[in-house]
A and B are shown apart, each in its own frame.
Chain A
Amino acid sequence: MINFNYVKPSTQKAVTDTLGKDATAQIIAGGTNLVDLMKRGVAAPEKLVDITGLPLKNIEQQKGFVRIGTLALNSEVAESELILKKFPLLAKALNAGASPQLRNMATVGGNMMQRTRCSYFYDTAMPCNKRKAGSGCGALKGYNRMHAIFGTTENCIAVHPSDMCIALVALDATVVISGKTDRRIPFADFHRLPGANPEKDNTLQKGEMITAIEIPDNDALAKSTVYLKVRDRASYAFALISVAAAMDVKGGNISAVRLAMGGVAHKPWRLTTAENFLKGKAPSTENFKQAAAIAMKDSKGHGHNNFKLKLAPNTILQALTTVSTQV
Protein backbone atom coordinates (compact mmCIF):
# COMPACT_ATOMS: atom_id res chain seq x y z
CA MET A 1 0.00 0.00 0.00
CA ILE A 2 1.34 3.44 -0.91
CA ASN A 3 1.66 5.52 2.22
CA PHE A 4 -0.54 8.52 2.93
CA ASN A 5 -1.12 11.23 5.48
CA TYR A 6 -3.61 10.45 8.19
CA VAL A 7 -5.67 13.09 9.90
CA LYS A 8 -8.56 12.84 12.33
CA PRO A 9 -10.48 16.12 12.45
CA SER A 10 -12.76 16.81 15.40
CA THR A 11 -15.36 18.83 13.50
CA GLN A 12 -17.50 18.20 10.45
CA LYS A 13 -16.46 21.55 9.00
CA ALA A 14 -12.77 20.59 9.20
CA VAL A 15 -13.60 17.43 7.24
CA THR A 16 -15.47 19.19 4.43
CA ASP A 17 -12.88 22.01 4.32
CA THR A 18 -10.09 19.45 3.88
CA LEU A 19 -12.03 17.59 1.19
CA GLY A 20 -12.79 20.86 -0.61
CA LYS A 21 -9.16 22.00 -0.62
CA ASP A 22 -7.36 18.74 -1.23
CA ALA A 23 -8.47 16.75 -4.28
CA THR A 24 -6.37 13.76 -3.22
CA ALA A 25 -7.98 13.51 0.23
CA GLN A 26 -10.56 10.83 0.91
CA ILE A 27 -12.79 10.02 3.86
CA ILE A 28 -12.22 6.82 5.81
CA ALA A 29 -14.61 5.33 8.36
CA GLY A 30 -15.03 1.53 8.35
CA GLY A 31 -12.36 1.13 5.69
CA THR A 32 -13.68 -2.27 4.57
CA ASN A 33 -13.69 -1.30 0.89
CA LEU A 34 -11.18 1.56 0.74
CA VAL A 35 -8.31 -0.25 2.52
CA ASP A 36 -8.80 -3.19 0.17
CA LEU A 37 -8.75 -0.88 -2.88
CA MET A 38 -5.59 0.80 -1.59
CA LYS A 39 -3.86 -2.56 -1.09
CA ARG A 40 -4.71 -3.50 -4.66
CA GLY A 41 -3.50 -0.18 -6.08
CA VAL A 42 -6.97 0.74 -7.35
CA ALA A 43 -7.16 3.74 -5.00
CA ALA A 44 -4.19 5.81 -3.84
CA PRO A 45 -5.38 8.82 -1.83
CA GLU A 46 -2.57 11.02 -0.52
CA LYS A 47 -4.54 11.88 2.57
CA LEU A 48 -7.08 9.91 4.59
CA VAL A 49 -9.53 11.88 6.67
CA ASP A 50 -10.75 9.72 9.55
CA ILE A 51 -14.30 10.81 10.41
CA THR A 52 -14.93 8.26 13.16
CA GLY A 53 -14.46 10.96 15.81
CA LEU A 54 -17.57 12.86 14.65
CA PRO A 55 -20.91 12.51 16.49
CA LEU A 56 -22.81 11.02 13.51
CA LYS A 57 -23.74 7.61 14.85
CA ASN A 58 -27.25 8.02 16.25
CA ILE A 59 -30.33 6.15 15.06
CA GLU A 60 -33.32 8.17 16.23
CA GLN A 61 -37.00 8.85 15.67
CA GLN A 62 -37.70 12.38 14.49
CA LYS A 63 -41.04 13.92 13.62
CA GLY A 64 -42.25 11.92 10.62
CA PHE A 65 -39.01 10.07 9.88
CA VAL A 66 -36.18 8.03 11.32
CA ARG A 67 -32.72 9.54 11.06
CA ILE A 68 -29.66 7.29 10.82
CA GLY A 69 -26.26 8.92 11.25
CA THR A 70 -23.74 8.18 8.52
CA LEU A 71 -21.38 6.51 11.02
CA ALA A 72 -23.95 4.02 12.35
CA LEU A 73 -22.48 0.59 11.74
CA ASN A 74 -24.29 -1.84 9.44
CA SER A 75 -24.64 -4.25 12.37
CA GLU A 76 -26.00 -1.50 14.66
CA VAL A 77 -28.68 -0.55 12.14
CA ALA A 78 -29.58 -4.20 11.44
CA GLU A 79 -30.03 -4.90 15.18
CA SER A 80 -31.66 -1.59 16.16
CA GLU A 81 -35.08 -2.19 17.73
CA LEU A 82 -36.41 0.96 16.10
CA ILE A 83 -35.31 -0.22 12.64
CA LEU A 84 -36.54 -3.78 13.22
CA LYS A 85 -39.95 -2.43 14.19
CA LYS A 86 -40.38 0.31 11.60
CA PHE A 87 -38.20 -0.78 8.65
CA PRO A 88 -37.64 -4.54 8.83
CA LEU A 89 -36.84 -4.49 5.10
CA LEU A 90 -33.69 -2.48 5.83
CA ALA A 91 -32.57 -4.85 8.59
CA LYS A 92 -33.11 -7.85 6.29
CA ALA A 93 -31.13 -6.28 3.47
CA LEU A 94 -28.25 -5.40 5.80
CA ASN A 95 -28.09 -8.89 7.25
CA ALA A 96 -27.98 -10.33 3.73
CA GLY A 97 -24.79 -8.40 3.03
CA ALA A 98 -21.13 -9.16 3.78
CA SER A 99 -20.12 -11.07 6.93
CA PRO A 100 -20.69 -10.33 10.65
CA GLN A 101 -17.13 -8.98 10.96
CA LEU A 102 -17.57 -6.63 8.01
CA ARG A 103 -20.99 -5.47 9.23
CA ASN A 104 -19.33 -4.59 12.55
CA MET A 105 -16.93 -2.29 10.67
CA ALA A 106 -18.87 -0.89 7.71
CA THR A 107 -20.87 2.31 8.17
CA VAL A 108 -24.07 3.46 6.47
CA GLY A 109 -22.27 6.21 4.53
CA GLY A 110 -19.46 3.83 3.60
CA ASN A 111 -21.94 1.27 2.35
CA MET A 112 -23.35 3.91 -0.01
CA MET A 113 -19.87 4.99 -1.13
CA GLN A 114 -18.50 1.50 -1.77
CA ARG A 115 -17.19 0.88 -5.27
CA THR A 116 -18.29 -1.81 -7.68
CA ARG A 117 -16.82 -5.31 -7.33
CA CYS A 118 -16.40 -5.62 -11.14
CA SER A 119 -13.23 -7.72 -11.54
CA TYR A 120 -11.99 -5.44 -14.33
CA PHE A 121 -12.21 -2.48 -11.97
CA TYR A 122 -10.07 -4.35 -9.43
CA ASP A 123 -7.51 -5.68 -11.93
CA THR A 124 -5.12 -2.79 -12.61
CA ALA A 125 -3.71 -4.64 -15.64
CA MET A 126 -7.10 -4.46 -17.40
CA PRO A 127 -8.89 -1.51 -18.99
CA CYS A 128 -11.66 0.06 -16.92
CA ASN A 129 -13.35 3.40 -17.53
CA LYS A 130 -14.40 3.58 -13.92
CA ARG A 131 -10.85 3.20 -12.59
CA LYS A 132 -9.13 5.10 -15.42
CA ALA A 133 -11.41 7.26 -17.54
CA GLY A 134 -11.02 6.61 -21.25
CA SER A 135 -9.14 3.30 -20.90
CA GLY A 136 -12.07 1.21 -22.13
CA CYS A 137 -14.33 -1.43 -20.58
CA GLY A 138 -12.86 -4.89 -20.02
CA ALA A 139 -16.17 -6.38 -18.98
CA LEU A 140 -18.20 -5.52 -22.07
CA LYS A 141 -16.61 -8.32 -24.13
CA GLY A 142 -15.06 -10.08 -21.16
CA TYR A 143 -16.37 -12.35 -18.42
CA ASN A 144 -19.45 -10.45 -17.36
CA ARG A 145 -21.55 -12.90 -15.42
CA MET A 146 -22.01 -10.54 -12.44
CA HIS A 147 -22.76 -7.47 -14.55
CA ALA A 148 -25.63 -5.10 -15.21
CA ILE A 149 -28.68 -5.61 -17.41
CA PHE A 150 -30.21 -2.13 -17.01
CA GLY A 151 -28.88 1.33 -17.79
CA THR A 152 -25.57 0.18 -19.25
CA THR A 153 -23.52 2.02 -21.87
CA GLU A 154 -20.57 0.93 -24.01
CA ASN A 155 -18.45 2.63 -21.33
CA CYS A 156 -19.48 0.57 -18.31
CA ILE A 157 -21.65 -2.40 -17.37
CA ALA A 158 -20.69 -2.56 -13.67
CA VAL A 159 -23.25 -2.96 -10.88
CA HIS A 160 -23.47 -1.25 -7.52
CA PRO A 161 -22.87 -4.05 -5.01
CA SER A 162 -24.87 -2.82 -1.99
CA ASP A 163 -27.79 -4.65 -0.40
CA MET A 164 -28.58 -1.88 2.07
CA CYS A 165 -29.08 0.64 -0.73
CA ILE A 166 -31.71 -1.54 -2.42
CA ALA A 167 -33.87 -1.37 0.71
CA LEU A 168 -33.24 2.37 1.16
CA VAL A 169 -34.29 3.24 -2.38
CA ALA A 170 -37.45 1.14 -1.93
CA LEU A 171 -38.22 2.99 1.32
CA ASP A 172 -37.95 6.44 -0.34
CA ALA A 173 -35.07 7.48 1.92
CA THR A 174 -33.45 10.90 1.77
CA VAL A 175 -29.69 11.49 1.81
CA VAL A 176 -28.49 14.34 4.00
CA ILE A 177 -25.33 15.90 2.59
CA SER A 178 -23.07 18.48 4.16
CA GLY A 179 -20.61 20.74 2.35
CA LYS A 180 -20.37 24.48 1.86
CA THR A 181 -24.13 24.34 2.22
CA ASP A 182 -26.27 21.46 3.46
CA ARG A 183 -28.65 19.74 1.09
CA ARG A 184 -31.07 16.82 1.00
CA ILE A 185 -31.62 14.63 -2.03
CA PRO A 186 -33.88 11.62 -2.70
CA PHE A 187 -31.95 8.36 -2.31
CA ALA A 188 -32.79 7.46 -5.91
CA ASP A 189 -30.85 10.55 -7.07
CA PHE A 190 -27.72 9.82 -5.06
CA HIS A 191 -26.22 7.08 -7.21
CA ARG A 192 -26.07 7.59 -10.97
CA LEU A 193 -25.99 5.60 -14.19
CA PRO A 194 -22.60 5.33 -15.93
CA GLY A 195 -23.43 7.38 -19.04
CA ALA A 196 -20.19 8.79 -20.45
CA ASN A 197 -18.62 9.16 -16.98
CA PRO A 198 -18.55 5.80 -15.22
CA GLU A 199 -15.75 7.08 -12.98
CA LYS A 200 -18.48 8.91 -11.09
CA ASP A 201 -20.52 6.55 -8.94
CA ASN A 202 -22.74 9.20 -7.41
CA THR A 203 -23.72 12.85 -7.38
CA LEU A 204 -21.69 13.86 -4.32
CA GLN A 205 -19.66 16.99 -5.12
CA LYS A 206 -16.12 17.90 -4.13
CA GLY A 207 -16.01 19.05 -0.51
CA GLU A 208 -19.22 17.24 0.42
CA MET A 209 -19.89 14.35 2.78
CA ILE A 210 -22.93 12.25 3.70
CA THR A 211 -24.04 12.98 7.26
CA ALA A 212 -27.26 10.99 7.57
CA ILE A 213 -30.07 9.02 5.95
CA GLU A 214 -33.69 9.84 6.69
CA ILE A 215 -36.49 7.33 6.12
CA PRO A 216 -40.06 8.62 6.16
CA ASP A 217 -42.52 6.88 8.51
CA ASN A 218 -44.81 4.50 6.66
CA ASP A 219 -46.46 1.73 8.66
CA ALA A 220 -47.79 0.05 5.51
CA LEU A 221 -44.21 -0.80 4.51
CA ALA A 222 -43.48 -2.65 7.75
CA LYS A 223 -46.30 -5.20 7.52
CA SER A 224 -44.84 -7.64 5.05
CA THR A 225 -41.33 -7.41 3.69
CA VAL A 226 -38.76 -9.63 2.02
CA TYR A 227 -35.21 -9.18 0.83
CA LEU A 228 -34.65 -12.07 -1.54
CA LYS A 229 -31.02 -12.41 -2.52
CA VAL A 230 -29.98 -14.96 -5.13
CA ARG A 231 -26.25 -15.68 -4.99
CA ASP A 232 -23.64 -18.34 -5.62
CA ARG A 233 -23.55 -19.51 -1.99
CA ALA A 234 -25.97 -19.28 0.90
CA SER A 235 -24.16 -16.47 2.70
CA TYR A 236 -21.28 -14.01 2.26
CA ALA A 237 -21.53 -13.47 -1.49
CA PHE A 238 -22.63 -10.58 -3.67
CA ALA A 239 -26.05 -10.73 -5.29
CA LEU A 240 -26.59 -12.13 -8.74
CA ILE A 241 -30.09 -10.74 -8.37
CA SER A 242 -31.72 -9.35 -5.24
CA VAL A 243 -35.24 -8.04 -4.78
CA ALA A 244 -36.49 -5.86 -1.93
CA ALA A 245 -40.27 -5.97 -1.60
CA ALA A 246 -42.82 -4.52 0.82
CA MET A 247 -46.57 -4.88 0.50
CA ASP A 248 -49.83 -4.09 2.22
CA VAL A 249 -53.23 -5.43 1.15
CA LYS A 250 -56.58 -3.85 2.01
CA GLY A 251 -59.99 -5.19 0.96
CA GLY A 252 -58.36 -7.87 -1.18
CA ASN A 253 -56.31 -5.39 -3.21
CA ILE A 254 -52.75 -4.16 -3.00
CA SER A 255 -52.85 -0.83 -1.14
CA ALA A 256 -49.11 -0.27 -0.89
CA VAL A 257 -46.20 -1.88 -2.66
CA ARG A 258 -42.50 -1.14 -3.02
CA LEU A 259 -40.05 -2.97 -5.26
CA ALA A 260 -36.35 -2.51 -5.91
CA MET A 261 -33.70 -4.71 -7.42
CA GLY A 262 -29.98 -5.20 -6.84
CA GLY A 263 -27.27 -6.81 -8.95
CA VAL A 264 -28.76 -5.37 -12.12
CA ALA A 265 -27.54 -1.79 -12.55
CA HIS A 266 -24.95 0.88 -11.77
CA LYS A 267 -27.35 2.17 -9.12
CA PRO A 268 -30.04 0.70 -6.84
CA TRP A 269 -32.85 -0.10 -9.28
CA ARG A 270 -36.31 0.96 -8.16
CA LEU A 271 -39.16 -0.71 -10.09
CA THR A 272 -41.61 2.18 -10.10
CA THR A 273 -43.60 1.20 -13.20
CA ALA A 274 -44.15 -2.29 -11.82
CA GLU A 275 -45.27 -0.79 -8.50
CA ASN A 276 -47.73 1.51 -10.28
CA PHE A 277 -49.13 -1.44 -12.23
CA LEU A 278 -49.73 -3.42 -9.03
CA LYS A 279 -51.38 -0.69 -6.94
CA GLY A 280 -55.09 -1.36 -6.48
CA LYS A 281 -54.89 -4.76 -8.14
CA ALA A 282 -55.40 -8.19 -6.61
CA PRO A 283 -52.26 -9.88 -5.27
CA SER A 284 -52.44 -12.71 -7.82
CA THR A 285 -49.73 -14.72 -9.52
CA GLU A 286 -50.96 -13.45 -12.88
CA ASN A 287 -50.59 -9.81 -11.80
CA PHE A 288 -47.17 -10.54 -10.29
CA LYS A 289 -46.00 -12.10 -13.56
CA GLN A 290 -47.19 -9.07 -15.49
CA ALA A 291 -45.46 -6.73 -13.03
CA ALA A 292 -42.23 -8.70 -13.43
CA ALA A 293 -42.53 -8.46 -17.22
CA ILE A 294 -43.08 -4.70 -16.96
CA ALA A 295 -40.03 -4.40 -14.71
CA MET A 296 -37.84 -6.13 -17.31
CA LYS A 297 -38.61 -3.63 -20.08
CA ASP A 298 -35.35 -2.29 -21.62
CA SER A 299 -33.22 -4.97 -19.96
CA LYS A 300 -30.25 -6.19 -21.96
CA GLY A 301 -27.78 -9.05 -21.43
CA HIS A 302 -24.10 -8.99 -22.33
CA GLY A 303 -23.37 -12.67 -22.85
CA HIS A 304 -22.36 -14.37 -19.63
CA ASN A 305 -25.07 -12.54 -17.69
CA ASN A 306 -27.93 -13.37 -20.08
CA PHE A 307 -29.25 -15.74 -17.41
CA LYS A 308 -30.19 -12.68 -15.36
CA LEU A 309 -32.85 -11.81 -17.94
CA LYS A 310 -34.74 -14.89 -16.75
CA LEU A 311 -33.53 -14.98 -13.14
CA ALA A 312 -34.58 -11.36 -12.47
CA PRO A 313 -38.32 -11.71 -13.31
CA ASN A 314 -38.41 -15.06 -11.51
CA THR A 315 -36.91 -13.46 -8.40
CA ILE A 316 -39.42 -10.60 -8.58
CA LEU A 317 -42.26 -13.13 -8.86
CA GLN A 318 -40.94 -15.13 -5.91
CA ALA A 319 -40.48 -12.00 -3.76
CA LEU A 320 -44.00 -10.73 -4.54
CA THR A 321 -45.50 -14.14 -3.85
CA THR A 322 -43.74 -14.28 -0.50
CA VAL A 323 -44.78 -10.80 0.66
CA SER A 324 -48.37 -11.31 -0.47
CA THR A 325 -48.72 -14.48 1.61
CA GLN A 326 -47.31 -12.78 4.72
CA VAL A 327 -49.76 -9.85 4.75
Chain B
Amino acid sequence: MAHHKEETGGENKTLHHTRRKFFKISSALTAVALIPSEIIKAAEDKVDEKIAEKFEQQTLTLEINGVQKTLSVEPRVTLLDMLREQLKLTGSKKGCDHGQCGACTVHVNGQRVLSCLSLALMQNGKKITTIEGLATGDELHPMQAAFIKHDGFQCGYCTPGQIMSAVACVREGHADNEEEIRAYMSGNICRCGAYPNIVEAILEAKEKGGNQI
Protein backbone atom coordinates (compact mmCIF):
# COMPACT_ATOMS: atom_id res chain seq x y z
CA MET B 1 0.00 0.00 0.00
CA ALA B 2 3.08 2.21 0.16
CA HIS B 3 2.41 3.55 -3.30
CA HIS B 4 -1.03 4.84 -2.48
CA LYS B 5 -1.68 8.33 -1.40
CA GLU B 6 -2.96 7.78 2.09
CA GLU B 7 -5.28 10.25 3.65
CA THR B 8 -5.78 10.40 7.35
CA GLY B 9 -8.64 12.86 7.36
CA GLY B 10 -6.57 16.01 7.00
CA GLU B 11 -7.44 18.51 4.30
CA ASN B 12 -5.22 17.96 1.30
CA LYS B 13 -6.66 20.23 -1.34
CA THR B 14 -3.36 22.05 -1.73
CA LEU B 15 -1.61 18.81 -2.58
CA HIS B 16 -4.17 17.33 -4.91
CA HIS B 17 -5.46 19.80 -7.41
CA THR B 18 -8.37 18.37 -9.27
CA ARG B 19 -8.03 18.16 -13.02
CA ARG B 20 -10.87 20.64 -13.31
CA LYS B 21 -9.01 23.25 -11.23
CA PHE B 22 -5.74 22.47 -12.99
CA PHE B 23 -7.29 23.22 -16.36
CA LYS B 24 -8.56 26.58 -15.18
CA ILE B 25 -5.09 27.61 -14.00
CA SER B 26 -3.10 26.17 -16.89
CA SER B 27 -5.47 27.52 -19.54
CA ALA B 28 -5.15 31.03 -18.13
CA LEU B 29 -1.35 30.80 -18.10
CA THR B 30 -1.29 29.41 -21.62
CA ALA B 31 -3.48 32.23 -22.91
CA VAL B 32 -1.16 34.85 -21.47
CA ALA B 33 2.11 33.23 -22.54
CA LEU B 34 1.44 32.08 -26.08
CA ILE B 35 0.80 33.84 -29.36
CA PRO B 36 -2.26 32.54 -31.29
CA SER B 37 -0.49 30.07 -33.63
CA GLU B 38 1.24 28.49 -30.67
CA ILE B 39 -2.07 28.21 -28.86
CA ILE B 40 -3.51 26.33 -31.81
CA LYS B 41 -0.50 24.03 -31.90
CA ALA B 42 -0.72 23.46 -28.14
CA ALA B 43 -4.39 22.60 -28.52
CA GLU B 44 -3.60 20.18 -31.32
CA ASP B 45 -0.91 18.53 -29.23
CA LYS B 46 -3.29 18.42 -26.24
CA VAL B 47 -0.53 19.91 -24.11
CA ASP B 48 -2.88 20.64 -21.23
CA GLU B 49 -4.17 17.09 -21.34
CA LYS B 50 -0.66 15.63 -21.32
CA ILE B 51 0.61 17.82 -18.49
CA ALA B 52 -2.48 17.11 -16.42
CA GLU B 53 -2.15 13.40 -17.08
CA LYS B 54 1.42 13.30 -15.76
CA PHE B 55 0.45 15.54 -12.88
CA GLU B 56 -2.29 13.24 -11.68
CA GLN B 57 -0.69 9.85 -12.13
CA GLN B 58 -0.23 7.58 -9.16
CA THR B 59 1.91 4.46 -8.96
CA LEU B 60 0.84 0.95 -8.16
CA THR B 61 2.53 -2.43 -7.97
CA LEU B 62 0.79 -5.61 -8.92
CA GLU B 63 1.48 -9.08 -10.26
CA ILE B 64 0.26 -9.77 -13.79
CA ASN B 65 0.44 -13.35 -15.06
CA GLY B 66 3.18 -14.08 -12.52
CA VAL B 67 5.29 -11.01 -13.29
CA GLN B 68 5.64 -8.14 -10.82
CA LYS B 69 4.92 -4.74 -12.41
CA THR B 70 5.13 -1.17 -11.14
CA LEU B 71 3.04 1.25 -13.17
CA SER B 72 1.80 4.83 -13.12
CA VAL B 73 -1.81 5.56 -13.99
CA GLU B 74 -4.40 8.27 -13.60
CA PRO B 75 -7.11 7.39 -11.06
CA ARG B 76 -9.71 7.11 -13.84
CA VAL B 77 -7.87 4.38 -15.73
CA THR B 78 -9.63 1.04 -15.54
CA LEU B 79 -7.83 -2.25 -15.12
CA LEU B 80 -8.92 -3.16 -18.66
CA ASP B 81 -7.45 0.00 -20.19
CA MET B 82 -4.23 -0.42 -18.23
CA LEU B 83 -3.87 -4.02 -19.45
CA ARG B 84 -4.60 -3.15 -23.06
CA GLU B 85 -3.06 0.31 -23.48
CA GLN B 86 -0.07 0.25 -21.15
CA LEU B 87 0.88 -3.41 -20.98
CA LYS B 88 -0.30 -4.27 -24.51
CA LEU B 89 -2.09 -7.33 -23.15
CA THR B 90 -4.91 -7.04 -25.67
CA GLY B 91 -6.35 -10.49 -25.02
CA SER B 92 -8.90 -9.06 -22.58
CA LYS B 93 -11.50 -7.45 -24.80
CA LYS B 94 -13.45 -4.23 -24.54
CA GLY B 95 -16.95 -5.25 -25.54
CA CYS B 96 -19.52 -2.95 -23.92
CA ASP B 97 -17.17 -1.25 -21.40
CA HIS B 98 -20.16 -1.07 -19.03
CA GLY B 99 -20.13 -4.42 -17.24
CA GLN B 100 -22.81 -6.04 -19.34
CA CYS B 101 -21.00 -8.40 -21.73
CA GLY B 102 -18.18 -10.13 -19.83
CA ALA B 103 -15.60 -9.85 -22.65
CA CYS B 104 -13.19 -8.13 -20.24
CA THR B 105 -13.31 -10.88 -17.58
CA VAL B 106 -10.00 -11.47 -15.77
CA HIS B 107 -9.08 -13.07 -12.45
CA VAL B 108 -8.08 -10.89 -9.50
CA ASN B 109 -6.62 -12.90 -6.63
CA GLY B 110 -8.14 -15.98 -8.26
CA GLN B 111 -11.68 -14.58 -8.55
CA ARG B 112 -13.31 -13.64 -11.85
CA VAL B 113 -14.17 -9.95 -12.13
CA LEU B 114 -14.95 -7.40 -14.83
CA SER B 115 -11.82 -5.41 -15.59
CA CYS B 116 -13.81 -2.65 -17.34
CA LEU B 117 -15.50 -1.67 -14.06
CA SER B 118 -12.36 -2.10 -11.92
CA LEU B 119 -10.18 0.94 -11.32
CA ALA B 120 -6.52 0.08 -11.89
CA LEU B 121 -5.33 1.88 -8.74
CA MET B 122 -7.62 -0.28 -6.61
CA GLN B 123 -5.73 -3.38 -7.77
CA ASN B 124 -2.53 -2.35 -5.96
CA GLY B 125 -0.84 -5.39 -4.43
CA LYS B 126 -3.15 -7.89 -6.15
CA LYS B 127 -2.53 -10.79 -8.51
CA ILE B 128 -4.09 -10.51 -11.96
CA THR B 129 -4.46 -13.37 -14.41
CA THR B 130 -5.48 -12.63 -17.98
CA ILE B 131 -6.08 -14.94 -20.94
CA GLU B 132 -2.39 -14.48 -21.83
CA GLY B 133 -1.46 -16.11 -18.53
CA LEU B 134 -3.35 -19.39 -19.03
CA ALA B 135 -1.22 -21.35 -21.49
CA THR B 136 2.11 -22.85 -20.49
CA GLY B 137 4.43 -21.97 -23.36
CA ASP B 138 2.94 -23.55 -26.47
CA GLU B 139 0.80 -25.90 -24.43
CA LEU B 140 -2.78 -24.68 -24.25
CA HIS B 141 -4.71 -24.58 -21.01
CA PRO B 142 -7.23 -27.48 -20.88
CA MET B 143 -10.10 -24.98 -21.16
CA GLN B 144 -8.56 -23.34 -24.23
CA ALA B 145 -8.05 -26.77 -25.83
CA ALA B 146 -11.66 -27.74 -25.06
CA PHE B 147 -13.01 -24.52 -26.62
CA ILE B 148 -11.11 -25.32 -29.83
CA LYS B 149 -12.17 -28.96 -29.83
CA HIS B 150 -15.85 -28.12 -29.33
CA ASP B 151 -15.87 -25.08 -31.60
CA GLY B 152 -16.86 -22.85 -28.67
CA PHE B 153 -16.73 -19.66 -30.75
CA GLN B 154 -17.23 -18.15 -34.17
CA CYS B 155 -15.86 -14.60 -34.32
CA GLY B 156 -13.84 -15.14 -31.14
CA TYR B 157 -14.28 -11.68 -29.65
CA CYS B 158 -15.99 -12.87 -26.47
CA THR B 159 -13.77 -15.95 -26.17
CA PRO B 160 -11.04 -14.65 -23.81
CA GLY B 161 -13.75 -13.53 -21.38
CA GLN B 162 -15.68 -16.77 -21.86
CA ILE B 163 -12.58 -18.85 -21.12
CA MET B 164 -11.55 -16.84 -18.03
CA SER B 165 -15.11 -17.10 -16.76
CA ALA B 166 -15.28 -20.81 -17.58
CA VAL B 167 -12.09 -21.60 -15.64
CA ALA B 168 -13.52 -19.75 -12.62
CA CYS B 169 -16.92 -21.41 -13.07
CA VAL B 170 -15.31 -24.86 -12.76
CA ARG B 171 -13.14 -23.79 -9.83
CA GLU B 172 -16.14 -22.35 -7.96
CA GLY B 173 -17.88 -25.71 -8.30
CA HIS B 174 -20.68 -24.36 -10.48
CA ALA B 175 -20.17 -26.63 -13.49
CA ASP B 176 -22.05 -29.73 -12.37
CA ASN B 177 -24.55 -29.79 -15.22
CA GLU B 178 -25.67 -27.85 -18.27
CA GLU B 179 -28.28 -25.83 -16.41
CA GLU B 180 -25.83 -24.71 -13.73
CA ILE B 181 -23.16 -23.87 -16.30
CA ARG B 182 -25.63 -21.76 -18.27
CA ALA B 183 -26.65 -19.86 -15.12
CA TYR B 184 -23.09 -19.29 -13.94
CA MET B 185 -21.83 -18.33 -17.42
CA SER B 186 -24.69 -15.87 -17.96
CA GLY B 187 -22.40 -12.89 -17.39
CA ASN B 188 -20.64 -13.66 -20.68
CA ILE B 189 -22.58 -12.78 -23.78
CA CYS B 190 -21.82 -14.39 -27.18
CA ARG B 191 -23.45 -12.66 -30.12
CA CYS B 192 -22.54 -15.53 -32.44
CA GLY B 193 -24.58 -17.81 -30.21
CA ALA B 194 -21.93 -20.44 -29.56
CA TYR B 195 -23.51 -21.25 -26.20
CA PRO B 196 -24.21 -24.98 -26.74
CA ASN B 197 -20.57 -25.56 -27.74
CA ILE B 198 -19.27 -23.46 -24.86
CA VAL B 199 -21.29 -25.60 -22.45
CA GLU B 200 -19.89 -28.76 -24.04
CA ALA B 201 -16.34 -27.43 -23.77
CA ILE B 202 -16.78 -26.64 -20.08
CA LEU B 203 -18.34 -30.03 -19.33
CA GLU B 204 -15.31 -31.72 -20.89
CA ALA B 205 -12.65 -29.39 -19.51
CA LYS B 206 -13.85 -29.73 -15.93
CA GLU B 207 -12.73 -33.37 -16.02
CA LYS B 208 -9.35 -32.42 -17.48
CA GLY B 209 -7.96 -29.76 -15.18
CA GLY B 210 -10.08 -26.91 -16.55
CA ASN B 211 -9.99 -25.21 -13.18
CA GLN B 212 -6.21 -24.72 -13.08
CA ILE B 213 -4.49 -21.37 -13.22
B19 at interface by CB-CB < 8 Å: yes
Chain B contacts of A18 at CB under 8 A? Answer: 7, 9
In this complex, which of A3, A50, A101 has the most chain B Cβ atoms within 10 angstroms of its Cβ?
A101
Beyond A14-B9, A104-B112, A236-B187, whether A36 also contacts B4 by CB under 8 A is no
The residue on B at minimum CB distance from A103 is: B187
Given the known inter-chain contacts A3-B56, A101-B102, A105-B117, please indicate yes or no for A8 contacting B187, CB distance below 8 A: no
Q: Is A126 interfacial (CB-CB < 8 Å)? A: no
Which of A3, A11, A75 has the largest count of B CB atoms less than 10 A from its CB? Answer: A3
Q: Is the CB of A39 within 8 A of B98?
A: yes
Once the chains are docked, how many angstroms separate the CA of A101 from the CA of B137? 27
Given A100-B187, A235-B186: A31 and B75 interface contact (C-beta under 8 Å):
no
Residues of A with C-beta under 8 A to B102: 99, 101
**B123 to A: closest C-beta gap in Å:** 10
Stretch in contact with the other chain, from B39-47, B127-135, B168-176, B202-210: B168-176
Residues on A with C-beta less than 8 A from B19 are 2-4
Most B-side CB within 10 Å, residue of A47, A52, A104: A104
Return chain A residues, CB-CB under 8 Å to B188: 99
Q: Which of A11, A18, A49 has the most CB of B within 10 A?
A: A18
B118 within 8 Å of A (CB atoms): yes
* Complex interface bits, A1-33 against B, C-beta within 8 A gives 1, otherwise 0: 111111111110110011001000000100110
Could you tell me the distance in whole angstroms from the C-beta of A38 to the nearest C-beta in chain B? 8
* Residue A56 lies at the interface, judged by CB distance under 8 Å to chain B: no
- Shortest Cβ gap from A45 to chain B (Å): 10
Given contacts A5-B16, A32-B117, contact A100 B7 (CB under 8 A): no
**Do residues B58 and A6 form an inter-chain contact, with CB atoms below 8 A?**
yes
B97 x A5 contact (CB < 8 A): no
* Interface residue tally on A, bucketed by range: 35 or more
Q: Contact check: which of A4, A9, A39, A98 meets B75 at CB < 8 Å?
A: A4
Chain B 120-168 interface residues, beta-carbon cutoff 8 Å to A: 121-122, 165, 168
The one of B9, B119, B186 in contact with A31, judged by C-beta atoms closer than 8 angstroms, is: B119
Chain B residues with Cβ below 8 Å from A50 are 121-122
Query: With an 8 A cutoff between CB atoms, is A102 at the interface?
Result: yes
Complex: how many Å from CA A218 to CA B184? 30
Decide if B211 is an interface residue (CB 8 Å cutoff): no
Q: Does chain A have a CB within 8 A of B90?
A: no
Measured in the bound complex, the distance between the Cα atoms of B118 and A100 in whole Å is 15
For B7, B74, B78, B168, the residue with the greatest tally of chain A CB atoms inside 10 Å of its CB is B7
CA distance A53 to B18 in the complex (A): 23
Contact with B along A48-61 (1 / 0, CB 8 A): 11101100000000
B interface list, Cβ under 8 A from A: 1, 4-9, 11-12, 16, 18-20, 52, 56, 58, 74-76, 78, 97-99, 102, 105, 111-114, 117-119, 121-122, 165, 168-169, 172, 174, 182-184, 186-188
The 8 closest A-B pairs by CB, nearest first: A99-B187, A6-B75, A235-B186, A14-B9, A17-B9, A7-B7, A3-B19, A236-B186
Query: What 10 additional pairs, Cβ within 8 angstroms, besides A35-B118, A39-B97?
Result: A8-B1, A9-B7, A10-B8, A35-B78, A46-B18, A46-B20, A50-B122, A99-B186, A101-B102, A104-B113
